[in-house]
Structure 1
Amino acid sequence: MLKKNLILILLFLIVVFVAIKLGLRWYTHHGEKLTLPDFINQPLAQAIITAEDRSFELVVTDSIFKVNQQGGIILDQNPIKDSKVKRGRKIYVTITKYKPEKVKISQIPELYGKDFERKKKELENAFDIQSEILGYEFDQGASNQILKVLYNQEEIINSEFRKDDVEIEKGSTLQFILSKNVGGAIMMPDLVCKTYNEAAFYVENLNLYIGEVVKDGLLEDEQGAFIYDQIPQAGDNILTGDTIQLYLSSTKPFNCDE
């Protein structure tokens, strides 16, 4: 009986000792403030472990897409690092999205027929979409205008259609076919009987260039002189951007219409 009582007394003392120790620990840490670590740029999983080790709780309040950055990276925290907080405090964080956001073609301004450099900047700044020149095609309009747009090797915009339901991932790249106003085959116009001024205006609109000008005698007014011959001849096939040769005379050729 005595032995049993001694055991009970011993157990009682152990319980009291443990209770006192835990109570002292609680009293010691009650109200204690800890320095909050810096969680920014840490993966969320790693930050959660660190927070739990220090008696904090991380709560994700928002996620933002960042180009070329993996998901789950902490971008912002509240309270900020080095703040003095109590144990058990909730720390609110913003992280990067795991999946990229998407933009529908219908949300993007008109691209066909627009200047490439201007639209390239607009796509990058407003939608985080990159641009790449895939090639060129002849067009009689201005150079470097957008003729076709491709995404994942699929044509999504051209002169005939625009696939508004196609979704583009932010951070991805659109490919472009642009216009060039040189290199296309055209038929050489008939410039004979026109004045030099008339011919210069005409060939400029065809993206042709006047090279050598051969004058017949002395010309006081080259701009008003008449063309009596040309190289290449009218009807020949030439390329835009080519140079032509003109022959000028102060008098109108006899076979010209009045």
Structure 2
Amino acid sequence: MKSFIRVFGINALVAVVVIGALLWGVFHYLNVYTLHGESITVPDFKGLKIEELDDFVRDKTVRFEISDSTYNRKLPRGVVIDQNPKPNTQVKESRKIYLTVNRKIPEMVTLPELEDASLKQAISILETYTLKVGKKILEPAECSGCVLRVEKDGKELKPGTKIEKYASVDLVLGQGESDEMIPVPNLMFLTKQELEDKLGSKMLNTTIIFEKGCKTEQDSSFALVYNQMPPPGQDAMINLGSSVNVWLTCSRSKLEEIIPDSLSFKLKNI
């Protein structure tokens, strides 16, 4: 009986040692595998041209794939504008980096038929085609506020013309038979987006002037109107098709002096 217990104990001990060694080996392998390449730093692809990418990764232990493209007219064409994972992050060797590039050729859309549509209808149709309204130009015509034609840079655009996505087009609108006057809209303390929303369906043009302090696109998006000409007023009137000049500022101190308390919440982003 003692001999059996002794043999059993030895076998159990051997089994524990063997299992322990196997577990150590497995965990060691997994640890080496998961840490393999941990020190590889993701290079910065941003700003590289598409044709430069193969040479750029030739001596690096990462791969790349162009997974998306967009078009931004403010950025160079045919270059990397974003990547995932981000530069300087740590990844395994041979990790694939997904790149977004700025297209060389902008995406085009077809100009829809707008003749005889009202201004409101024209704006709605253009939005579905990812196009915007630029100037609103009035001409003598029997109809009032109907679209006579579409122009860009002073040249007429026919329906079916290919045009850059997100571009602005000018609408030539019928003035009707009367010199109609409308109240001067109050544009004070509006953002640029709020200006466009408020004046979108009105037959008025707007000249927007940013102060020098608005240096970035984000600054400009938060800037508020602090002056307009002609100024709003109870009896202030303006001709259809006229232009309202507005000045926007990013200066919190300038706005604090003139903004009503009821609108002070608009200063939180400035």
TM-score range, shorter chain: 0.3 to 0.5
Q: Which has the higher helix share?
A: 2
TM-score (norm 2): 0.42
